[in-house]
A and B are shown apart, each in its own frame.
Chain A
C-alpha cells in the first residue's frame, strides 16, 4: 500500500517524467481544462517539458511518472528521478504494468526490431517492458489506459492536503451497478473482463454495449480462473482468452498468470 504522504510545503513542486508511453496520461493534466489554472494555484509545475520550456531543479515534492522501462538508458534515468522525488506516483498502465508494449515480454525482441527497422543495430532496447515498481520504490500507483483525469486531480489534491487518495480497488462490476448499467455478460452474453478489472474508469465500455477490456488492470484479489470458465461457457477459446488477458495490462501478475495458463492449454489442445 502507498506510503502516507507527509504534510507538504506551501506550494509543492511537481515534476512530470515520461518513459515509453503514448503521452496520453500526462496530457490528462492538461485535459482537466478549467481546473488546470486552479491546480497551478496550489502546486508549482516545476518540471513538465511537454508543457513548459522552464525547468526548475529538483528535488520535487511530487513526481508523476508515465511510461514503462524499455531501454538501458531509461533504467538508469528512473533511478535519478527517484532520487529527486519525495513522493513518486506511477501513472497509467505503462508505468504500473509495462503497458501494451509489454507484449514483447513473450517474444524475441530481436525479431521485433527486425520487423520494424531495416537496421536493427541502430536500436538500443531491453528485451522487456517493465513497470516502474520493478526498478524503484513507488509511493502510489494510479491505474488506467489512460488514467482517469479526475482521479489524477484527486491524487494531486490528496497529496497537497496530506491525506490518502480516495481511489477504488474494487471491480468494474460495482461501477456498473452504481450507474445502473445492465450487465452485458448476463443479459447479452458479451464477454467482459469487468469482474476482474479495477474500477476507476466509470464503467464506460458496458454503457456502450461493449465488454470491459481490462484497461485499468486487475482489481484486488481477482478471480481470473472463475471468470475464464464463464467466458469459455460463452464460447471463448483458450487462444481468445490469451488475447483477452494479454491487453494493456498484460504483464500485471494476475493477468500474466491467466494468459500463460490458457496459452499452455491452447498448445496442449492443439488450438
Chain B
C-alpha cells in the first residue's frame, strides 16, 4: 500500500474572538474527521458565582465577553428578576432594548468590516484592506462608533457598562442625552443600507445547509431581549423549559460544552436563525432591502451571514431611533425588588445568538447555582457540519485556498471563543491511500 499525505497547517485561526483549534483529515478525497475545538483556558464563572449576591451577576457575567457584555447583563438581570417573580417593563425595559441595539450595531459592524469582509476581498486584515479601500474601513469604523455611543450613553462605557442592574438601572438617561445620539444614527441609516448593498455584492460559496434554527421570537417585535424560544422544527417554549429541550455535553477536545437539542442534535443560533424565524417582524425598510439584495425570507447559506448582519444593523439603527423618539423619562430608575429564594431563567439574543442563564438563589439573594449557555457553545456542532459541507465542495482547491475558505466558514459564525470558554489551530490533513 502506498499512501500520499498532504498536510495543511494553520496554527492559529485569526480574526475570531479567542483561541480554538480545527483538525480535518481527508483520505483519498473522502473526509474522515472534522473537529472544531476550543482551548480557551476555563475561567469557571459558574463556580465562582456561587455564594455571591444576586446583584453581582450582571457585573460579573459581563466579564465573560468584552464584545457582548450587554447580552450577559440582559440575560442575567432578567433571570434574577424572574427568580423573584418580577418583570421590568415600560421605559426601563425599552432602555434595555435600546442599549442592546447599540451592542448589536457595534458587535456586528466590528465583525463585518474588521473581521469578515477581509475574507471576501482577499485581505489578511482590515488594516491591509484599508490600504486599498480606506473609505470602506472608515465607513465601518464610524458606524461601529454610532453603536458604541448608544452603549456608552446608557451604560456609562462601551465595554462592561456599569449602569445595568437587576431591577433596572442605577440612573436613567434624560431624553436630551438620548436625543444627542439621533444625528449620528440618522447618518447610520444610510450607512447601514450602503453596507448591506456592499456586502451583498461579495462572492459567496454556494452552500445551502438544512439548519434547525433556534432563536427568540416575539409576536410584536424582532426579538432581541424578550420572547419565546422557537425553532423551525416545532420548538416553541418559555426560557424556563430550556433544559427540557436542550442539553450540554462535555467532550475531551474542547473546554467549551457542546449543546444539542435532545434526541435530535445540532442546531443553529445567531443572525441567520433570527432572520429566518422572524423575517416578518423586521421593519419594512429592512425587509425590502433584504429582498432587493436577493436574500429570501429565510437564509440557509452561512456565508451570507455577513449580509444578514447588515440587515440586522439597519434594523437596530431604525429601532434605536424609534425607541429614542418614544422614550419618556421614567419616575424611578429601577423597580423595588422582592428578594426571595427561587429559580430564575433569562434568555436574550446576543449578537452571536441565544444566550441562556439560569440561577438558583437563597432567601438572602445569594447565588446557590448558576448555569450559562453562550451562543458559540451551541453552534459548535453546526460549525463542524458546515466545515464538512465546505470541504466536500472545495476539495479541489490548493491547500492555502482551502485553509482560507475553512477559516472563513468558521468566521461566518463570528465565534466568540472567550464566551464559549482560546487557540484556534487549523490542521488539514490529506492522505491518499493507493494500491
Interface residues of A (CB under 8 A from B): 18-25, 27-28, 30-31, 33-34, 36-37, 40, 45, 48-55, 70-71, 74, 99-101, 103-104, 107, 109, 111-113, 115-119, 122-123, 125, 129, 145-146, 201, 204-205, 207-210, 213, 215, 240, 243, 247-248
Please determine whether B15 and A52 come into contact, CB atoms closer than 8 angstroms. yes
Q: How far is the CA of A86 from the CA of B48 in the complex (A)?
A: 36
Would you call B318 an interface residue if the criterion is a C-beta within 8 Å of the partner chain's C-beta atoms? no
Contact A54 B128 (CB under 8 A): yes
Determine whether the beta carbon of B15 is less than 8 Å from that of A53: yes
Cβ-defined contact, B128 with A100, below 8 A: no
CB neighbours (8 Å) of B52 from chain A are 243
> In the bound complex, do residue B17 and residue A50 qualify as a contact, i.e. CB atoms below 8 Å apart?
yes
Among listed B138-146, B199-207, B232-240, B319-327, interface-contacting one? B138-146
CB within 8 A of B12: which of A28, A55, A240?
A55
Nearest B residue to A20, CB-CB: B41
Evaluate contact between A49 and B14: CB separation under 8 angstroms: yes
Contact present for A70 and B43 (CB under 8 Å): yes
Given the complex of chains A and B, what is the CA–CA distance between A30 and B252 in angstroms?
34
- Asked whether, in the complex, the Cβ of A21 is within 8 Å of the Cβ of B12, the reply is no
B50 at the interface (CB under 8 A from A): yes
Residues of A within 8 A of B250 (CB): 117-119, 122
Partner of A204, one of B41, B53, B69, B156: B156
Interface string of B36-57 (1 = CB under 8 A from A): 0000111111111010110010
Does residue B277 face the partner (Cβ distance < 8 Å to A)? no
CA distance A49 to B422 in the complex (A): 12
The reply to whether the CB of B257 lies closer than 8 angstroms to some CB of chain A is: yes
How far is it, in angstroms, between the C-alpha of A158 and the C-alpha of B94 when the chains are bound? 42
Also in contact, A23 and B145, with CB within 8 A (given A116-B44, A116-B46, A123-B42): no
Query: Is A52's CB under 8 angstroms from B125's CB?
Result: yes
B residues neighboring A (CB under 8 Å): 12-19, 40-48, 50, 52-53, 56, 59-60, 63-67, 69, 110, 114-115, 118, 124-128, 130, 134, 137-138, 141-142, 144-145, 148, 156-160, 162-163, 169-171, 249-252, 255, 257, 333, 407, 416, 418, 422
Partner of B160, one of A103, A146, A243: A146
Q: Which chain B positions have C-beta within 8 A of A21?
A: 66, 418
B16 / chain A contacts, CB cutoff of 8 Å: 50
| CB-defined A-B contacts under 8 Å, sample of 18 | A22-B65, A23-B66, A24-B67, A30-B114, A34-B138, A37-B141, A48-B125, A49-B12, A50-B15, A53-B14, A55-B14, A100-B48, A116-B44, A201-B157, A208-B162, A215-B160, A240-B53, A243-B56
CA distance A184 to B411 in the complex (A): 45
Q: Which residue of B lies closest to A27 (CB)?
A: B66
Given contacts A23-B17, A31-B148, A115-B47, 16 further A-B contacts (CB under 8 A): A19-B41, A20-B40, A21-B66, A22-B66, A23-B67, A27-B66, A31-B158, A45-B125, A50-B16, A51-B15, A54-B125, A100-B43, A100-B60, A107-B47, A118-B250, A145-B160
CB–CB B14/A116 < 8 A: no
**Shortest CB–CB separation between residue A79 and chain B, in angstroms?**
16
| A24-B43 contact given A30-B110, A50-B16, A145-B63, CB 8 Å threshold | no
**B41 contacts across to A, CB distance below 8 A:** 19-20, 70-71, 74, 125
Residues of B within 8 A of A18 (CB): 18-19, 422
CA distance A247 to B158 in the complex (A): 20
B residues near A129, Cβ cutoff 8 Å: 43
How near does chain A come to B319, taking the closest CB pair, in angstroms?
A: 22
Instruction: Please measure, in the bound complex, the distance between the C-alpha atom of A23 and the C-alpha atom of B407, giving whole angstroms.
Output: 20
Decide: A112 and B44 in contact? CB cutoff 8 A: yes
Bound CA span A155–B50, Å: 37
Distance A115 CA – B144 CA, assembled complex (angstroms): 38
Give the residues in chain B near A118, CB-CB below 8 Å. Answer: 249-250
A201 CA to B160 CA, complexed, in Å:
12
B141 touches A24 (CB 8 A): no
A194 nearest CB across to chain B (Å) = 13
Contacts of A51 in B (CB 8 A): 14-15, 114-115, 125-127
Q: In the complex, A45 Cα to B130 Cα: how many Å?
A: 13
A116 with B42, Cβ < 8 A, contacts A52-B125, A52-B127, A210-B162 known: yes
Chain B residues positioned under 8 Å from A23 (CB to CB): 17-18, 65-67, 416, 418
